[in-house]
Structure 1
Amino acid sequence: MPGTPVDFSHGDVNATAFEPAPGSLEAFVQGVHRGGGQAYTEYRGDASIREKLALNLADFSGKSVSAAEELIITPGTQSALFLAIASTVTAGDKVAIVQPDYFANRKLVEFMGAEMIPVKLDYLNGSANAGLDLNELESAFKKDAKVFLFSNPNNPTGAVYSRSEIGQIAQLADRFGATIIVDQLYSRLLYEGQSYVHLRSTLADEANVVTIMGPSKTESLSGYRLGVAFGSARIVQRMEKLQAIVSLRAPGYCQAVMRTWFSEPAGWLADRINKHQAIRDELLAVFRGIEGVAVRTPQAGS
């Protein structure tokens, strides 16, 4: 109806959701049948599942992952974000965040009592790049920002950071000794012809970097509340200690569903991406027909 407001603050999963990844329900049922051994896993998550995930994530991101020391399964990626920020940020700290970016980033930093230093993402003028203002990021570090928090692909714009941008982010963080938390939730959902550079693959030392991912979007497994964080052993250890207090662990039976992640049938992921891309292209055609509306073609994301 004309004049009816539209709420863009959350995804309307009922209208556009796809079927969950194949085998997910069966894996959950197997976890239930396993019983207590699956329900009461280690705080970091079931050891055998972490071993499988570590291999998959290492292959995906281009750098090895220690299942024992560098990986934790969390109750969704939102929880992973909270744990990572709470493990690295305290009241009075300064945190560099991208504008625009995932709305909860700001809320989490504010909750910790930290000061935000915005870094502009000029996504409409980005072509080969996402459009991050690297001068502003350097300035934020000079102002003593100890953490840089961002999503790649960017949520909500769908812009993907170029190899050059990722390399310069890594160099700046290394130079200033800053911690980086990178949310890569949509990094499997890349549209046709789009390349991607994992931040962790550009670093010689990952002591100050945490990568966050999960199967909630591309794989439509959001109801199982599953996410992962991997990278710095020191930060992951702090995250585990906090998770043990807050939620004990990711839901035990649901953790079994992680066995299906990165193990979908041949061709399934490409088909899922094509379906998302068709929706993207349909929406682009609508917005490009509106006078005065500037549009960037999202390179990734749902």
Structure 2
Amino acid sequence: MPVISSKGKAMPESPIRKLAPFAEKALKEGKHIFHLNIGQPDIKTPVEALNAVRDHKLDVLAYSHSAGFESFRKKLAGYYAKHDITISSDDILVTTGGSEALIFTMGSITDPGDEIIVPEPFYANYYSFSTQSTVKVVPVISQIDNGFALPPIKDFEKLITSKTKAILICNPGNPTGYLYSKEEIKQLADLAIKYDLFLISDEVYREFVYDDSEHYSILQESILDEHAIVVDSVSKRYSMCGARIGCMVSKNKSVMETAMKFAQARLSPPTFAQIASEAALEAPESYYTETVAKYKIRRDTLVEGLRQIPGIKVAIPNGAFYCIAELPIKDADHFTKWLLDEFHVNNETVMLAPAAGFYSSPNEGLNQVRIAYVLNRRDLKKAINILKLALAKYTDQESFSTVKEKVTL
């Protein structure tokens, strides 16, 4: 019988999607699920994007250039200019989602067995993409007690070897919501120059920053012109997850020429999705400001609610729309399944993402969950109350099981 590849066996399950069978069972049982497990915004897609597809004049749905529409890339360069980032359309490669941008990046700068240092917890698919690229993720652990701030630079330096090719960050962070400061970005820039490394920044949540904070891109560091690679996407910014349009941005010509060969191999990014994404750039500034204002209210509602639940530890996220919460339990994986399988309040329950899947270090994040605050305020409050009641019942059961085990022994 033919066998599955070692690479295939090594591919991790998604901590975000692996609970789908439990959710499907709960739905068949008539339960309503509040989905806090996945970053699917409920904000409406800009009407400009939808109308552009609806009103298209195409007679043939043809390939585009492998780098994406030139008109789209020029408008993207204009978008970045508004954020004090000076690049040209030639520095941009349109990809099928930010995911493909990361895969192209890894393929362009690493060989099998090379290493990329990543602060953890990190976006779970980084591990999947590195497995596909036969690259080793080397984690440097950040801590919930300081809000998942950048680990000390000396912790990075201890991990750098002859195999190290890059440092990868997500700014603002998924799953933590942490926003790196300008000073932290400069520290990483100096480190990249010192050891001649690439610095990759996943900046798909750049618009979502709160409390008068500002996003600072690695592309704003002139010393990084040959070292910086940015991954971006329209998925979250314009609530267009299904469009699957992203981009890879770098001033390093060799990197972009190499990435183009990967782009040519997959022919082109999807045409209709590019039409919608280009049009989305015409959305008024109020679209961003109103969207960010909604998420700030949701963040405040979530954090305030979680802090009222005994035993929960949560850091205030300054960006994106996620947070990591540490629960007063031993096994978040079991708890999240139990929520769907056995618990409900008036036939309603909550779906969370176990945070251990956002770590590559063993035994990290076992009692943590990632929460995506992508629901309206009313539903968030209901979900928090369900979580509070669930934890009370679950921890009682956990305590009883521990006592029973001790008695048995």
TM over 0.5: yes
2:38: which partner in 1?
Answer: 11
| Map of 1:41 onto structure 2 | 64
Q: How many residues align?
A: 290
Select which of 256, 259, 262 maps to 1:239: 259
2-structure distance, mates of 1:258, 1:208:
27
What is aligned with 1:29? 54
Contact 2:218 2:224 in 1 (8 A): no
Is 2:193 the counterpart of 1:174? yes
How far apart, in 1, do the equivalents of 2:92 and 2:320 lie?
A: 24
State the distance in 1 between where 2:39 and 2:138 align. Answer: 31
SS state at 2:283 partner? coil
Partner of 1:254 in structure 2? 273
CA drift of 1:143 comes to: 5.6
1:188 and 1:260 mapped to 2: Cα distance?
18
Q: Which residue of structure 2 aligns with residue 76 of structure 1?
A: 97
Which residue matches 2:45? Answer: 20
Distance in 1, Cα, partners of 2:149 & 2:290: 25
Q: Distance in 2 between matches of 1:291 and 1:243?
A: 50
- Which structure 2 segments of 5+ residues have no match? 1-21, 24-32, 322-409
**Aligned residue runs from structure 1 range 77-156, under 5 A:** 77-126=98-147, 130-142=149-161, 144-156=163-175
Percent identity over the alignment?
23
- Aligned letter for 1:34? L
CA-CA distance at 1:24 after TM superposition: 0.7
Say which is worse superposed, 263-272 or 162-171, in terms of deviation. 263-272
Check the 8 A contact 1:28/1:253 in 2, yes or no: yes
Please show how residues 48-67 of structure 1 align to structure 2 within 5 Å: 48-60=71-83, 62-67=84-89
The structure 1 residue matched to 2:228, chosen from 197, 209, 213, is: 209
Task: Give SS of 2:223's match.
Answer: coil
Report deviation, 1:254: 1.5
Query: What is the distance in 2 between the residues matched to 1:295 and 1:285?
Result: 10
The 8 Å contact of residues 52 and 276 in structure 2, kept in 1 or not, is answered as yes
How far is the alpha carbon of 1:93 from its aligned partner?
0.7
Q: How large is the Cα RMSD of the aligned pairs? A: 2.3
- How far did 1:73 drift? 0.7
Change (3 A) 1:257 1:250: same
One-letter identity of the residue aligned with 2:235: S
Find the residue that maps to 1:228 and give its secondary structure.
Answer: strand
Structure 1 residues 131 and 280: alpha-carbon distance in aligned structure 2, compared to 1, 3 A threshold: same
Letter in 2 for 1:189: F
In the alignment, which residue of structure 2 is the partner of 1:164? 183
How many Å apart are 1:263 and its aligned residue?
A: 2.8
Letter in 2 for 1:20: T
Provide, for residues 10-67 of structure 1, a one-character-per-residue CA deviation record: whole Å limited to 9, x for no partner.
Answer: 5163xx511102311112234x42344x73211000112111111212332x232121
Instruction: Answer yes or no: is the 8 Å Cα contact 2:98–2:232 preserved in 1.
Output: yes
* Alpha-carbon distance change, 115 to 294 in structure 1, aligned in 2, over 3 angstroms: same
Q: Distance in 1 between matches of 2:128 and 2:34?
A: 19
Structure 1 gap ranges (5+):
none
**Contact 1:130–1:162 under 8 Å retained in 2:** no
Q: Distance in 2 between matches of 1:11 and 1:26?
A: 27
The reply on whether 1:296 has 2:319 as its aligned counterpart is no
Find the residue that maps to 1:268 and give its secondary structure. Answer: helix
Code of the aligned partner of 1:287: L
Q: Distance in 2 between matches of 1:8 and 1:114?
A: 32
Query: Residue in 1 aligned with 2:405?
Result: none
The answer to whether the 8 Å contact 2:98/2:233 transfers is yes
C-alpha separation between the residues in 2 aligned to 1:173 and 1:83?
Answer: 20
The separation in 2 between residues aligned to 1:292 and 1:105, in whole angstroms, is 30
Q: 1:287 corresponds to which residue?
A: 306
- Indicate if the aligned counterparts of 1:119 and 1:133 stay in contact, CA closer than 8 A: no
Q: 1:18 to 1:205 in 2, by over 3 A?
A: closer
Q: Distance in 2 between matches of 1:178 and 1:72?
A: 21
Alpha carbons 1:123, 1:132 under 8 Å: kept: no
What's the secondary structure of 2:178's corresponding residue? coil
Mapped to 2, the partners of 1:90 and 1:156 lie a distance apart of 27
